[in-house]
Amino acid sequence: MKMKRITGDELEHLFERQLAEWPMVKNGFAALDSVKIKTVKVEDATFKVQFNPARIRSSAAKIDAASLKARRCFLCDENRPVEQQSLAWDDEYKVLVNPYPIFPKHFTVVCSRHTDQRIAGRMAHMMEMAEAFGDYEIFYNGPHCGASAPDHMHFQAGNKGFMPWLSDLSRVGEDILLRKGDAVMGVANIARAAVVIRAMSIESGAEMFHRLMEMLPVPAGDSEPMVNVLCSKSCREWTISVFPRKRHRPSCYDAEGDDNILISPASVDMGGVLAIPLEKDFYKIGVREIEQIFGEVCYSYDEIADIIENENKS
Ligand SMILES: [Zn+2]
């Protein structure tokens, strides 16, 4: 059976079509042009802070079991807006334009079936998409660290280079801890710690990723370690950045008064773009706030390096 893949050109056409035919998309992307942005440097890290009111639905999404049960799943075919068109990737996924964008071009890749958000067995798909889509990074939010539909499997795709993470990483680099075949695994510490996997083939990259997922702790009641994942391909090499997470939301999310900041960090935040839905928070957020937020929700460099080194001693 021939596999149905999607090229960057096909994505471009879908985007243009939806922009022309669906006012919500037209307005959503037009709003990005006038959005307020500021840059905050935290040591070697660059953070672009974006005041983006439309993201309130994601930042404040209720994802407890009762709330999920009470709502219609907005990623299922029958509940999506009639204007929303899709492109098929095999029988497994459909690609949609994200009507609540952060990126100049922003897509959601949804599973064709209503099935839980889980990365197990799907890294190869992410890597294939990173290759086929071309100018996009593919990202994944674990069910308890940023996904606003933890009950329906989905990735997202956004313009390559929009998130500052990879360019910061290319200057600072990572410490290599493991090698297998054409893949290497290292840990980087650039205002937040990440495991960086580089691979020349899908097989070795996906194998290294799933090996990492077996090393990381799984919180009680969860089915996988808490992670945000970015995946892209340039030249012949894939780069998979995995941000292991300790916590879904930082303490400022529930804080009263002046300490309150409505931010629910996900892959895009890990990538260095903070989409802030409330204007008061846009002005408030600076070096100290960013350090505190990432310090609370991410594992430290030492914690991650210890996990990987201990798992590989035996
Ligand atoms: Zn669904």
Which tens digits make up the pLDDT trace of 228-253? Answer: 999 999 999 999 999 999 999 999 99
> How far is residue 166's CA from residue 172's CA, in Å, rounded to a whole number?
10
> How far is residue 148's CA from residue 169's CA, in Å, rounded to a whole number?
27
Tell me how far the alpha carbon of residue 227 lies from the centroid of ligand 1, in angstroms. Answer: 21
> How far is residue 175's CA from residue 166's CA, in Å, rounded to a whole number?
15
pLDDT score for 135: 95
Which segments in the chain show pLDDT lower than 70?
1-2, 314
Domain locations along the chain = 38-78+116-311
Tell me how far the alpha carbon of residue 144 lies from the centroid of ligand 1, in angstroms. Answer: 17
Q: Which residues of 154-176 are buried (b: 16+ CB within 10 A; e: fewer)?
A: bbbbbebebbbbbebbeeeebee
Tell me how far the alpha carbon of residue 112 lies from the centroid of ligand 1, in angstroms. Answer: 9
Amino acid identity for residue 200 in this structure: M
Tell me how far the alpha carbon of residue 72 lies from the centroid of ligand 1, in angstroms. Answer: 8
Alpha helices by DSSP H, the chain? 8-21, 23-33, 56-59, 65-70, 123-133, 165-172, 202-215, 267-270, 279-284, 287-297, 301-311
Tell me how far the alpha carbon of residue 130 lies from the centroid of ligand 1, in angstroms. Answer: 24
pLDDT score for 312: 81
Tell me how far the alpha carbon of residue 120 lies from the centroid of ligand 1, in angstroms. Answer: 18
Tell me how far the alpha carbon of residue 229 lies from the centroid of ligand 1, in angstroms. Answer: 21
Which 8-state DSSP code applies to residue 218?
Answer: P
The predicted-structure confidence for 145-199, as pLDDT tens digits, reads as follows 988 899 999 999 999 999 999 999 999 999 999 999 999 999 999 999 999 999 9
Tell me how far the alpha carbon of residue 75 lies from the centroid of ligand 1, in angstroms. Answer: 5
Tell me how far the alpha carbon of residue 115 lies from the centroid of ligand 1, in angstroms. Answer: 7
Tell me how far the alpha carbon of residue 70 lies from the centroid of ligand 1, in angstroms. Answer: 13
Tell me how far the alpha carbon of residue 65 lies from the centroid of ligand 1, in angstroms. Answer: 14
Which 8-state DSSP code applies to residue 244?
Answer: E
Tell me how far the alpha carbon of residue 314 lies from the centroid of ligand 1, in angstroms. Answer: 41
The CATH class, in words, for 38-78+116-311 is: alpha beta
Tell me how far the alpha carbon of residue 93 lies from the centroid of ligand 1, in angstroms. Answer: 12
Tell me how far the alpha carbon of residue 187 lies from the centroid of ligand 1, in angstroms. Answer: 35
Tell me how far the alpha carbon of residue 118 lies from the centroid of ligand 1, in angstroms. Answer: 13
Tell me how far the alpha carbon of residue 150 lies from the centroid of ligand 1, in angstroms. Answer: 9
pLDDT score for 314: 59
Tell me how far the alpha carbon of residue 113 lies from the centroid of ligand 1, in angstroms. Answer: 7
Q: Other C-beta atoms within 10 Å of 83: how many?
A: 13
pLDDT score for 1: 56
Q: Other C-beta atoms within 10 Å of 203: how many?
A: 14
Tell me how far the alpha carbon of residue 16 lies from the centroid of ligand 1, in angstroms. Answer: 26
Which 8-state DSSP code applies to residue 251?
Answer: G
